[in-house]
Structure 1
Amino acid sequence: MSELVSGGAAVIDALVAHGVTDVFGIPGTHNLELYRHLRGSGIRHVVTRHEQGAGYAADGYARVSGRPGVLVTTSGPGITNAVTALATSYADSVPTLAISPGAPRGRVGADVGWLHELKNQQAALEAVTDRSIRVERADDIPEVVADIFEGFATRRPRPVHLEVPVDVLEGEWLRRPGARRPLPEPVRPGARAVEAAAAALARASRPVVIAGGGSRRAADHVAALANLGIPVLTTVNGKGVLDERHAAALGASARLVAAHEVVNDADVLLVVGSELGDSDLWGGVVAPGRAGERTVIRVDLDPRQLHKNVRADVPLLGDAAAVLGELVAALHAAGAPSWPAERAAEARRRIDAEADERSEPWAQIQRSLAAALPADTVVAGDSSQVTYYGTVHYWPFGTANRLLYPTGYATLGYGLPAAIGAKVADPGRPVVALFGDGAAMFSIQELVTATELGLGLPVVVVDNGGYAEIREQMVDRGITPEAVDLYRPDLPALAKAIGAHGIAVDDAADLGRAVASALSADRPTVILHRV
């Protein structure tokens, strides 16, 4: 029997049909019909203390769970507060869905002083997401949501914004059953292209693989290439795709000059799921071999990426796991040789030597934590030196999707809410937030969220006195440091005032034990370490 409900039910029903179990957000005047139907839907709602926190939490949730992260905001300032988080997900190809109300039908751009009115809210969100979709009828919502989730599974996964006019959310809707749309087969290139790539690799004397974030679901096939002796370098987003203790692993060191030299010496370069951008290479240039004497093979689900920054000689458009599976099979069929292990070992020695030039104080912190924590621990970092100089290089990962880090957009304030999202996604898994004091103050309010949820979440704040990286850049340019040496609050006391635990650890060697103990606490623990 049909049931007459509000348009908010169409949104919630569609989320339920697509297996959504958790959403992050904040209720507001214009999205209340969503909350009417959330209760009783089986979906858990986590209320954050800022919509940006909801966006970062949804991002961390998606990276750890492999499922799209969902956030719900109100119109105007609610959704614009989440813009930076959505831009972060866009830069790192993370599937998040932001749902917000919009101006009533016929009122977009009216400029009449409607509450939360923007000149064009949808256009603002279109600028930072893969798509911003406005639905004009509640009946259209089930199909639109099905299309969004199909896109997450079959296209480059990037955030999508769904805008529902307030009058549609609050209007009547005759409820009808919704269903999940069957997904098509993974995108694959033609057999000739795969054969050409396999032939080039089989002839190579100095092959190298760069595995980016797009390779995370193709880890077994990346390992199969490494087992042939092909050195594998990862970007930061690909960290752990290949166990960093593997003999052919060069680590997540694509930013180092020594790694650039290894890549540029290659006669065949296989790039999987990476745009080879500045955030991956830190100003380095990928120019393997000399023209006519090298072959670049690129594997990507996004056709716009196949020639970006470095032109592909053999472009392979498709899902990384499907493409690499065919490529590995073709290599074995072609009788591909095993490349000598000494080449990868020598490259790793050169890369490690460069990393060690800037190891302190970051290496000691990471090694203390790595030694004390379980091997599957998720580390939620930030655009902080302790992350990009520390965790990236000195904490070896054996699997992918363990480092949550805003690589491309390089935002501050990501780490704490992303850690909350990770913990919601997988409550039984150890999660640690690890970032600097500058980053901490961008989202410290989310410590209230973690406390309210009773999360045993260690929050390690490495205090180096403010915005140390920016201070160094000022000094390098001959600028007198300004606005970078920050007032240092008593963070353990602040944590206790919120209701969390708070301690200070002076010796980096003791950090691991303190964090391991905090994993079993009944609430988050802020652990302050000054360097």
Structure 2
Amino acid sequence: MKKPLGAQISHMLKDRGVDVIFGIPGVHNQEMYRGIEEAEITHVLARHEQGAGFMADGYARATGKPGVAYVITGPGVCNIMTPMGQAYTDSVPMLVMSSCLDEMQAAHGQLHQMKDQRAAAGTVTDWSHQANTAQATYGLVERAFEEFELSRPRPKHIQVPIAQLQAEADPAPFPNQFGLRTQALPPDVAPVLSMLNTARRPLFILGGGTRSNLWRQILTQVGAACFTTYAGRGMAGLGYALDFGAMLPRPGSAEVIASADLVVAVGAELGEVDLWRRSLGHTANLVRVDLDPQVLSDHHRAEVKLQTDGESFARALWASIDHVNPATGWTAEEVAETRGRWRAEVDAERPGIVPVIDALREAMPADTMIYSDMTQFAYVAKEVWDMAYPYHWHHPTGFGTLGYALPAGIGGAVARRGKPTAVIAGDYGFHYTMQELGTAVELGLSLPIILWDNGKLKEIEDSMVGSQIAPNAVVAHNPDFCKLAEAFGALSATPSSLEEMQSAVRAAFDAPRPTLIRVTPDVL
């Protein structure tokens, strides 16, 4: 039956598997809210559109499904652009639906008016389009979900004029069958198998696009060593003896990679934030496996390139791997010695953090999903904290925005009710989105929020000193974070020892509301 288009949009999303929408209503987009409850979709009210976007990001990373956000014209779109930019660089499927003004060129001084909202959103999304009819709206939503399924997942923005949202519209068409992604088959991986069969020191680099539970078996069967990017951590599981971990940014990793006689990079962009250098360091043949042609054609110049997803590549490889002679060039002792040396480097670069990380890891269940912010604590943890499961640590790697962890962790916790989820933030970055504590309390989330409070922008201070710049503007006045959390209705703790910190974290997973755990360098 006919309904206002705003209501029909929610029903269309529900039919395509959307069960949660994050956002903030306003007079311009209120018609989209007419259909949310009717479609039996849960709406999570953020305290800021930036928070709504990060929640949608965190939900998408936890589920693999697109995260959806509703925002208003103008400032709502501007506020969510940072989360969209983060989702773009980190390959996160996100759909942002917004209202827009009916007339722009011949009208001035309107509420929420900006020069070109669609174009602005297009700078941080895969695409940004305006739908001027109901059918155009339905077509763009259908296209977004099709591309989430088939292409490199990235955010999309659809804006609909206010009058169209209010106008009566027929229901959206029934969901169409998604197209079939081209997948790798055993014949496609024959060149890689041939190379593996003659390699003595094969090395795999596993990135965030390697979704498969076969990698541990493949690496073991082939006798290959591996690195992971930050996004690919946990892909080899805990305890694989030839795993160099997420240590690609270590300068010495280039020397290790140069010693390999075959390098296979799967679902890894190998960009600046993966390597922190331009050259990978390889001297042998390089194989690249990726969905994105831009990645395959980059400056690393692979000899063999396969445009496919990591999961089907792993299946095709595993189907024929028994014909490969296991390599014997790597030893567990070599890997352990190298990793030990790199761990010592990490500890020396940012002293006093590694022991706190070790204690925190012991206090968390192995299947905890962690959302971290741009803070020294996370920078250290990403290198020394081995993950038991893939896709269980999420960080704003590419865009590198502050304020990500808390709202993204809320989105993850909404998606993982009954499973452990935690947040790690720094004191300065926490200021960006700390108002979302209200959302976490409102939802009754059992969410430990570990706040690393060193009282300053310590990473920037260290960088300034290293560049012979007198540290400036690196210290800000902090509130009493625990009182702030309690004012929102959250629990709080300031442990004075590592043992107290561990107890507070364990209790937080069972609490009926979020717990802010303020940890300072004095905890040691």
* Aligned match for 1:219, one of 213, 233, 239: 213
Q: Is the 8 A contact 1:474 1:480 kept in 2?
A: yes
In 1, Cα distance between equivalents of 2:107 and 2:193:
59
Task: Give the residue type in structure 1 aligned to 2:352.
Answer: P
| Offset, 1:358 | 2.8
* Aligned match for 1:256, one of 228, 232, 250: 250
Match of 2:226 in 1: 232
| Offset, 1:344 | 4.8
Distance change in 2, residues 1:513/1:267 (3 Å) = same
Residues 257-406 of structure 1 aligned to structure 2 (within 5 Å): 257-283=251-277, 285-289=279-283, 294-332=284-322, 335-340=323-328, 342-359=330-347, 360-389=351-380, 391-406=381-396
Q: Is the 8 A contact 2:224 2:330 kept in 1?
A: no
Residues 470-509 of structure 1 aligned to structure 2 (within 5 Å): 470-509=460-499
Deviations 1:27-47 (A, max 9, x none): 011100011111221110000
Match of 1:46 in 2: 44
What secondary structure, in the 3-state scheme, does the structure 2 residue paired with 1:326 have?
Answer: helix
| Offset, 1:529 | 1.0
Residues 33-182 of structure 1 aligned to structure 2 (within 5 Å): 33-104=31-102, 107-110=103-106, 112-175=108-171, 178-182=173-177
The unaligned stretches of length 5 or more in structure 2 are none
* Aligned match for 1:246, one of 240, 247, 266: 240
Give the aligned length: 518
Match of 2:415 in 1: 425
Q: Is the 8 A contact 1:111 1:119 kept in 2?
A: no
Length-normalised TM-score, structure 2: 0.95
What secondary structure, in the 3-state scheme, does the structure 1 residue paired with 2:209 have?
Answer: helix
Task: Give the residue type in structure 1 aligned to 2:371.
Answer: A
Which of 251-260 and 398-407 deviates more? Answer: 251-260
Q: Is the 8 A contact 1:218 1:320 kept in 2?
A: yes
Distance change in 2, residues 1:253/1:12 (3 Å) = same
Which of structure 1's runs of 4+ aligned residues deviate more than 6 A?
Answer: none
Match of 1:462 in 2: 452
In 2, Cα distance between equivalents of 1:510 and 1:261:
41
In 2, Cα distance between equivalents of 1:330 and 1:349:
33
| Offset, 1:288 | 0.7
In 2, Cα distance between equivalents of 1:382 and 1:77:
24
What secondary structure, in the 3-state scheme, does the structure 1 residue paired with 2:17 have?
Answer: coil
Task: Give the residue type in structure 1 aligned to 2:162.
Answer: V
2:446 corresponds to 1:451: no
| Offset, 1:51 | 0.4
| Offset, 1:342 | 4.5
Deviations 1:409-444 (A, max 9, x none): 111100000110000001111111112111111111
Q: Is the 8 A contact 1:276 1:309 kept in 2?
A: no
Task: Give the residue type in structure 1 aligned to 2:167.
Answer: G
* Aligned match for 1:9, one of 3, 7, 10: 7
In 2, Cα distance between equivalents of 1:511 and 1:368:
8
The unaligned stretches of length 5 or more in structure 1 are none
What secondary structure, in the 3-state scheme, does the structure 2 residue paired with 1:461 have?
Answer: strand
| Offset, 1:192 | 5.6
Q: Is the 8 A contact 1:287 1:310 kept in 2?
A: no
What secondary structure, in the 3-state scheme, does the structure 2 residue paired with 1:219 have?
Answer: coil
| Offset, 1:110 | 4.3
In 1, Cα distance between equivalents of 2:405 and 2:15:
30
| Offset, 1:304 | 1.6
Paired-residue identity, %: 36
Q: Is the 8 A contact 1:256 1:355 kept in 2?
A: no
Distance change in 2, residues 1:222/1:245 (3 Å) = closer
In 1, Cα distance between equivalents of 2:483 and 2:221:
50
Match of 1:434 in 2: 424
Q: Is the 8 A contact 1:465 1:486 kept in 2?
A: yes
In 1, Cα distance between equivalents of 2:332 and 2:125:
39
| Offset, 1:311 | 1.1
Q: Is the 8 A contact 2:200 2:329 kept in 1?
A: no
| Offset, 1:504 | 0.6
Task: Give the residue type in structure 2 aligned to 1:83.
Answer: M
Deviations 1:320-376 (A, max 9, x none): 1112211232333xx212123843541342133122233242222222122122110
What secondary structure, in the 3-state scheme, does the structure 1 residue paired with 2:212 have?
Answer: helix
| Offset, 1:305 | 1.1
2:192 corresponds to 1:197: yes
